[in-house]
Amino acid sequence: MSDVSDWWRTDIIDMEPGVIRFRGHAIEDLIGNVSFPQMIWLMTRGALPTEGEARLLEAALVAAVDHGPQAPSIATARMAVTCGLPLNNALANAVNMLGDVHGGAGEQAVELYTAIAEAGGPDHAGAEIDRWQAERTKFIPGFGHRFHKPVDPRAPRLLGLVDEAASEGICSGDFANIGRAIEAELAARKGKPVPMNIDGATAVIYAELGFPAPLARGLFCLSRSVGAVAHAWEQMQQGGRNKGPTPPQYRWTYTGPKEAGE
Amino acid sequence: MSDVSDWWRTDIIDMEPGVIRFRGHAIEDLIGNVSFPQMIWLMTRGALPTEGEARLLEAALVAAVDHGPQAPSIATARMAVTCGLPLNNALANAVNMLGDVHGGAGEQAVELYTAIAEAGGPDHAGAEIDRWQAERTKFIPGFGHRFHKPVDPRAPRLLGLVDEAASEGICSGDFANIGRAIEAELAARKGKPVPMNIDGATAVIYAELGFPAPLARGLFCLSRSVGAVAHAWEQMQQGGRNKGPTPPQYRWTYTGPKEAGE
Amino acid sequence: MSDVSDWWRTDIIDMEPGVIRFRGHAIEDLIGNVSFPQMIWLMTRGALPTEGEARLLEAALVAAVDHGPQAPSIATARMAVTCGLPLNNALANAVNMLGDVHGGAGEQAVELYTAIAEAGGPDHAGAEIDRWQAERTKFIPGFGHRFHKPVDPRAPRLLGLVDEAASEGICSGDFANIGRAIEAELAARKGKPVPMNIDGATAVIYAELGFPAPLARGLFCLSRSVGAVAHAWEQMQQGGRNKGPTPPQYRWTYTGPKEAGE
Amino acid sequence: MSDVSDWWRTDIIDMEPGVIRFRGHAIEDLIGNVSFPQMIWLMTRGALPTEGEARLLEAALVAAVDHGPQAPSIATARMAVTCGLPLNNALANAVNMLGDVHGGAGEQAVELYTAIAEAGGPDHAGAEIDRWQAERTKFIPGFGHRFHKPVDPRAPRLLGLVDEAASEGICSGDFANIGRAIEAELAARKGKPVPMNIDGATAVIYAELGFPAPLARGLFCLSRSVGAVAHAWEQMQQGGRNKGPTPPQYRWTYTGPKEAGE
């Protein structure tokens, strides 16, 4: 059976008294010399990215920080503070919300893009969309938006940066092509635009940069955490105690029996 | 009583279909043009920082990402993954841990530094330490380390960057002086060095940059989240199911009665 | 330094292969023989309660299970499910919400009652209320309700059960008297009734039964968890994806600058 | 689009000022008259159970409260308190842990039992085990235990109560038969006993009582919460600050490069 200190094994961090090394880099060499996105990359990937790769990652991290108090993640962070919770607990509630539906679209989009790439590229978008809908769900992750019509302003901006990076050889551009092929396919099927949204666009970047799908969700969590902290802190300054989702006069609809046994 | 859409009010984000503005900046102008630390600053403070301010914030964010599986935050993230949780839930557990003791030292250090500053500066360190211990707790937040002896390698590196920034007029250097005054005072009282640790050093930076104390904890959460995601992801790749804190053969000590009623 | 198996010590549970004992009771003797509230008592207090004590605890646990989707705990549980989270994560978000403001009133009320008891009993209610407001907050925990006017239907029912139990010698009734003294004092000060609410009434029970104040919050968490599971499960059956606090057409009020730099 | 108060709909709770009704029952009629397990049933199922049904549910709830600090749920609760978290946040971390691997076995066992029942009963256990392993995972949920050898003491006790209840017509006993058929099948396949564990046994009860599979996890969460609160509270009394999984001298094994670039 394993020894105690062998129970948790890691390639990430090495420590002795007075010494902290991440992936073999002494912490004092990283501080002040690498950017926060470079550090995120080093920690999750094992080596430092190029400047160009780090810039692209940075753009994705900047893009997804917040979508307002209507998003369950932000709503719960603000409510949490009115219940007396400090920022760490409010942020935990926000991040916990980023499950398959609210935070998982980026991860799923990377999976879909990867499936199309492995099938041979953009020409296989239609077939892989069919397979996705047969095996997973009718929702194509990363496309369409119930609020931002006609277009989510973050997506074209991010795609433009990918194109730029591809032209400089920072990434291949293959996943941008795949994303656009999905967009074209969905438009043809629906007879109207179903444009790429923030999840679809950040997934293009994460796939271009070689991040495995689950990390796409992890990175989204790091990004959205910024919005959650900002909103929780703003709410803390506003005060307010035990604020539910709506003002007290707007309650829920009761749909059960008036009397037991009815 | 308040109207529904008036129930949550925010200065942070404005949205219309196709439009997202943060603090008055269109998101497409921010993406690709501001760094992730600048975005963190904009979201939490209301306006963009200077380049020098952003660099100092970035150094603090880079410094605190991880302290290994021995830290409760990281331990819980790794355990969570072995219980079948995806990254968002693992990260939530990690961040939730960053309470007054594990994540609050930075916040408390900013409070102590601010108290000393308001009392008149470094010369008042001793008196404010006395007051802290009388009114709060014997633990002086941000100084001493049970593992990193003689010195936490992150602290002198961060302080060096503050000195540099102060010499360039990016910050005043007042809180670095206060931090050093506390260090000297504690050494004199204990008869041995009680050096500034990571929490004390990042608190110097946050105070120099004008962050209110609760945000020091919020920023620490954003930083430590990186380590939690990296460790959770590594554990996910290693596999392992339902891993408790130690191997099965090392259990706990039972200290209760052998039989009920004893 | 401590040995590994000595690192966590507990009086609660003893285990060998094939053997599980709680507080010295073999688990197979507890199953089918003690009620769930008796088990809660055994685990938290160290010995089994009398039948009468268990009944009183049970009444408090039954009383506080739910307060509808307007309560942040329940709201976040329902939202969580629409974000794709399973019940454990939805419940975690709900319970996390039960901080000082939303879940802490019972704990605080036990503290206030205890302070009055230690000061000498009901006659000291006024003085201890003054001290509470001077040292803690203007809010007197456990009294008044912004929704249930004139009276929270749970409080008189619970108090009636305490009176009954006191008449049977199950508890002293001292804390019921203290609760009523606070009620009378607040009515006199305000010139209108400020009746005891669910937190004030369950706190009377917890104090009568000898639960320390922090456990009053713990027990409230166990009780409210029932509502959170029920609501999360109902929402799971209803479906709904990524449901924020209000329908999409009701958004928040933006109160910041239209353009950056304004 | 939906109206605000129509956004959250529930059959569970109806409220007006001074009135709280659960499933049509006034709260003051429930308090003191129904047991906590009956209330749990009413909230999750829509109507009150019989006494016999409630007793069986109660046995399952009592059985699963705790499995010691080696269980990730309990470990994280104890660690949380040493990080300065109050009981609600410590409990949230514990419950969040109860994912597919640590808390999901009961839910999965109900699914497997139901599949066998729908296929025609115990004779179909082998075929459904094959299908489970082909479509889901090699792990058969609810059977075998890495620690409790030869047998988990909770399982035979719970099964005995089911047999008793079946003989009294409280439940059918069909799922106990299915559970035993799985046990026999696994023993035959492995050539050694793979006895039913706590998850398999509570799943028999939940299936006998008609609880849908996801609620099996929900009920386990309610049960294990008791252990988490008890352990967190015990730890709070013991003190201890920022306690990681093992004593400081037992660290992790670093398996990465000594120097970056190696």
Query: Mind listing the pLDDT tens digit for each residue in C122-157?
Result: 999 999 999 999 999 999 999 998 788 888 999 999
Q: Which two tokens stand for residue B181?
A: 């005054």
Q: How many angstroms separate the first and last alpha carbons of chain A?
A: 60
Query: Distance between the two ends of chain D, CA-based, in angstroms?
Result: 60
Q: Do D10 and A261 touch (CB under 8 A)?
A: no
The alpha carbon of residue C119 is apart from the nearest alpha carbon of chain D, in Å, by 24
Query: Is the same domain home to D38 and D103?
Result: no
pLDDT for res C212: 98
CB D93 within 8 A of CB C92: yes
C-alpha to C-alpha distance for C107 and C141, rounded to whole angstroms? 9
Residue B146: predicted pLDDT:
78
- Determine, yes or no, domain membership for B239: yes
Measured CA to CA, the distance from residue A181 to residue B115 in angstroms comes to 59
Is residue B261 one of the residues assigned to a domain? no
pLDDT for B5-32, tens place per residue? 899 999 999 999 999 999 999 999 999 9
The model's pLDDT over A190-227, given as tens digits with 9 standing for 90+, comes to 999 999 999 999 999 999 999 999 999 999 999 999 99
> What is the rounded distance in angstroms from the CA atom of residue C197 to the CA atom of residue C184?
14
Residue with more model confidence, A240 or C260: A240
Question: DSSP assignment, residue D149?
Answer: -
Mind listing the pLDDT tens digit for each residue in B168-215? 999 999 999 999 999 999 999 999 999 999 999 999 999 999 999 999
Identify any residues that bridge with B71 across adjacent strands, giving them in sequence order: none
Q: State the chains in contact with B (3 or more Cβ–Cβ pairs under 8 Å).
A: A, C, D
User: What are the φ/ψ torsions at residue D19 (nearest 5 degrees)?
Assistant: -130, 130
Helices (H), chain A: 27-30, 36-45, 51-63, 72-82, 87-96, 105-119, 125-135, 154-167, 174-190, 198-208, 213-238
Which of D73, D83, D146 faces B72 most closely, judged by CB atoms?
D83
pLDDT of A209 reads 98
Judge if the upstream peptide bond of residue C122 is cis by omega within 30 degrees of 0. no
Domains in chain B: how many in total? 2
State the pLDDT confidence band at C262, using cuts at 50, 70 and 90. low
- The number of beta carbons lying within 10 Å of the beta carbon of residue B191 is 7
Both C166 and C109 in one domain: the answer is yes
For residue B4, the 8-state DSSP code is G
Cα–Cα dist D123/D162, whole Å = 20
Question: Do A131 and A104 share a structural domain?
Answer: yes
A7 vs D contacts (CB less than 8 Å) = 252
The pLDDT score that the predictor gives to residue A262 is 66
DSSP run (H or E) holding B19 = strand B19-22
Same domain, B24 and B98: no
- Burial of D56: CB neighbours in 10 Å, binned 0-12, 13-18, 19+: buried
Give the integer Cα–Cα distance in Å for C88 and D220: 9
| Statement to judge: residues B24 and B121 lie in one domain | no
Does C1 have pLDDT greater than 60? no
Give me the mean pLDDT over the B64-81 stretch.
Answer: 97
Closest residue to C99, CB basis, from A85, A97, A101? A85
For residue D135, what are its two tokens?
């479509």
A11–D256: do the CB atoms touch at under 8 Å?
Answer: yes
- How confident is residue D242, by pLDDT bands cut at 50, 70 and 90? very high
Tell me: pLDDT of D2 over 90.
no
Q: Please indicate whether residue B221 or residue D3 has the higher confidence score (pLDDT).
A: B221
CA distance D83 to B177: 29
Whether A239 contacts chain D with CB within 8 A: no
- Confirm whether A187 is domain-assigned: yes
Is B213 within a domain? Answer: yes
Assign B262 a pLDDT band (cuts: 50, 70, 90): low
- Mean pLDDT of all residues in A163-186: 98
CB proximity C7 to A under 8 Å: no
Q: Are the beta carbons of A58 and B67 separated by less than 8 Å?
A: no
pLDDT at A139 over 60: yes
The Cα–Cα gap between A172 and B91 comes to 31
How much is the pLDDT for B150?
82
Partners of C143 in beta bridges: C196
State the burial class of residue B115 (Cβ atoms within 10 Å of its Cβ: 0-12, 13-18, 19+): middle
- Inter-residue contact D244 to B70 (CB < 8 Å): yes
**pLDDT per residue over A75-110, tens digit each?**
999 999 999 999 999 999 999 999 999 889 999 999
Choosing among C5, C36, C111, which should be mutated to test the D contact, i.e. which has the most D CBs within 10 A?
Answer: C36
- Domain containing C38 equals 12-48
* Residue B199 touches chain A, beta carbons under 8 Å: no
- For the ranges B99-103, B182-186, D1-5, the lowest mean pLDDT is seen at D1-5
For A254, the 3-state DSSP assignment is strand
Residues D211-230 pLDDT 10s: 999 999 999 999 999 999 99
Amino acid at site A83: C
Interface contact C89-A96, CB threshold 8 A: yes
**Domain shared by C54 and C20, yes or no:** no
Residues of D in contact with B251 (CB under 8 A): 68, 70
Q: Mind telling me how many Å the CA of B15 is from chain C's nearest CA?
A: 8
- Establish if B221 belongs to a structural domain: yes
Residue C88 forms part of a structural domain: yes
C-alpha D75/C-alpha D65 separation (Å) is: 14
- Domain shared by B188 and B170, yes or no: yes
Return the number of CB contacts < 8 Å for B and C: 99
Is the domain of B142 the same as that of B208?
A: yes
Contact yes or no for B154 and A31 at CB 8 A: yes
pLDDT at C3 (0 to 100): 87
DSSP H or E run through B223: helix B213-238
The answer on pLDDT for C2 being more than 70 is: no
Size of interface B-D (CB pairs under 8 A): 127
Find the CB nearest A99 among C75, C89, C98: C89
| CB of B225 closer than 8 Å to CB of A219 | no
Rounded Cα gap, residues C93 and A104, in angstroms: 18
Question: Which tens digit of pLDDT belongs to each residue from C50-79?
Answer: 999 999 999 999 999 999 999 999 999 999
On whether both A43 and A55 belong to a single domain, the answer is no
B5 vs C: CB within 8 A:
yes
| B6 within domain boundaries | no
Across B86-108, average pLDDT: 96
Q: pLDDT at position C260, please?
A: 86
State how far residue C95 is from chain B, nearest Cα, in angstroms: 12
Q: Are C228 and C161 part of one and the same domain?
A: yes
Say yes or no for a CB contact (<8 Å) between D250 and A4: yes
Q: Which of residues 49-108 of D touch A (CB under 8 A)?
A: 85, 89, 92, 96
- How confident is the model at residue B1, as a pLDDT? 52
A partners (3+ CB pairs within 8 A) are B, C, D
Q: How far, in Å, are A93, B172, D121, D124, D125 from residue D114 at the CA level?
A: 34, 69, 9, 11, 11
Residue A181 lies in a domain: yes
**pLDDT for res B82:** 98
The tens digit of pLDDT for each residue in D8-50 reads: 999 999 999 999 999 999 999 999 999 999 999 999 999 999 9
Check D245 against B243: CB less than 8 A apart: no
Task: State the sign of the Cα–Cα–Cα–Cα dihedral A13, A19, A24, A29.
Answer: positive
Instruction: Mark yes or no for CB contact A103/C83 under 8 Å.
Output: yes
- Domain identity same for A25 and A144: no
For residues D29 and D62, state if they share a domain.
Answer: no
**Taking 80 as the threshold, does the pLDDT of residue A153 lie above it?**
yes
Check: CB of residue B90 under 8 Å from CB of residue B227.
no
Q: What does C173-239 look like in DSSP terms, one character per residue?
A: -HHHHHHHHHHHHHHHHHTS---B-HHHHHHHHHHHTT--HHHHHHHHHHHHHHHHHHHHHHHHHH-
